[in-house]
Chain A
């Protein structure tokens, strides 16, 4: 199921602007890796290069290699659609499809990728909603629109939608930044369960969250506004938060950051 990600020498551009510069790291399978760093340092951009969503942005361009178990995502002949089926994504703001019911939202990935039998779909939807800890709340109203749920429920619906297509890797771009503490806790618990099946990468601005949920943490920074973002260091979360090897990391984590 879960796959290892090896990034080497990766730079991403928006038109002529270089957003991230020469990033290399390894993301271990069946673990949670957190990305932290100040706004605008390229965490989200880097995350989006891992499932080739960066190039969806007009002018988006990537140099370098991303190996998913030895297969380069940016190799010639690689279909971005196939990449995105393997590497799922949850976005910052919950974005259920407004025209679809809760059931259809979860089934969307499968249904839009080909025809499935109704009974199969039922199983997958139930499994995914259970996996996202949402089943008990919505099992009686699967045919209601997804946009009628609360923000936290919508985000868990989006997670259910992402895991319904059985990806190898799950990317989460600040999944809790629009949620209240209770919903955040629900999603953090969920991340802890999901990491047994998926490789998870999460971008967060919340230090405590990074410390709580992740096994490894990467700190990104940028030299100045307008400069490309860089990876400062990546290490075990415990080490990053207790004894980081770079001074800038400690300054950022302890709040002594310009």
Chain B
């Protein structure tokens, strides 16, 4: 280099630096074009080599896409940009990999479930219909699921909410640590274990029969740690300045929590609750152990066996006839739709209740 440290010439005199800040860029449509080409070549290779599995075609295409992007970008734009594009394409491929199973699952369920899904199916129970015959419905299962999940939420939501408030706002020292630890342990309880626990206490020791309520208790055990965790995170997001502002106005702590902390975080808390409900809606094992399943409508969740949607799917599948397969798929579709609606409602509430910016 011509400019050494000792000479200290002004910058304008020094060795020519790249004058322009502009660099050659691939056109905007390049990634899409590379993707199309890669998929086409992938399919071609698959056809020529006679590969059976479409998954292999896709993987070859994905690999070609990554390689092609990197090589092209390195040639035109330079190595740093090529690395950037490499990372971008990896993220895109992971996204596609994650979406493909989800989309195909929903597609499969919709196509197979729509066959027998109609007003009659939604508004009738199985009654005395033999399993091999077409007809029947899931009204009794919908009633059961709504009651069991509703009761579980009624038990778990207040306990979980208050626990989270204790942990964030009051909990200090050993008790708080112990509670946190047990919540963590509860998060990992397999649903069948929760079912067995209620089975041994409620049915075997206390001698009650199967009921929707027994199932709801097991579901509540599964739901509680989820509610505690999500609520805790939401309460921690409330800035401490707001608590201090309220306390400094001479507002007692409990009122501060009730009027400032909870309203600020209510959107997130509701979302967490809804997601916890969605999680337990699909539980089968505890329901199988504690609610048993039924073919007829039982509107009383406190007495007698009930049906629920996941259990209905399971039992119809077990029957093995074409008609019961159709019913299982339709019930699965209803279940997915139910969970999806819950999620949408949660998002709506979160958006509606989010602190307004007023701009």
Interface of A toward B, CB cutoff 8 Å = 51, 53, 56, 58, 81-86, 88-89, 91, 93, 95, 97-99, 108-109, 112-113, 144-149, 158, 161-162, 165
Contacts and interface: CB of A to CB of B under 8 A. Distances in A.
B108 interface: no
Contact of A112 (B249, B264, B358): B249
A96 B281 CA distance: 39
B251 to A, nearest CB: 4
B250 A144 contact: no
Contact of B250 (A91, A99, A113, A149): A113
Contacts of A146: 358
25 contacts: A56-B243, A56-B247, A58-B172, A84-B249, A86-B250, A88-B249, A88-B250, A91-B241, A93-B241, A95-B242, A98-B355, A99-B260, A108-B260, A109-B251, A112-B259, A113-B251, A113-B255, A145-B358, A147-B356, A147-B358, A148-B357, A148-B358, A161-B249, A162-B248, A165-B249
B24 interface: no
Given A95-B241, A99-B264, A85 B250 contact: yes
Interface of B: 172, 239, 241-252, 255-256, 259-260, 263-264, 355-359
Given A97-B264, A112-B259, A148 B359 contact: yes
B357 A82 contact: no
B249 A108 contact: yes
Given A97-B242, A99-B264, A84 B248 contact: yes
B249 A162 contact: yes
Given A58-B172, A112-B255, A99 B355 contact: yes
A91 B359 CA distance: 23
Contacts of B242: 95, 97-98
Contacts of A85: 249-250
Among B247, B248, B357, max chain A CB count under 10 A is at B248
Nearest to A92: B241
A91 B241 CA distance: 8
A148 to B, nearest CB: 2
A88 B247 CA distance: 10
Contact of A98 (B243, B248, B251, B264): B264
A91 B247 contact: no
A86 B243 CA distance: 18
Given A95-B239, A95-B242, A97-B260, A88 B359 contact: no
Contact of A109 (B239, B244, B250, B263): B250
Nearest to A84: B250
A165 B251 CA distance: 11
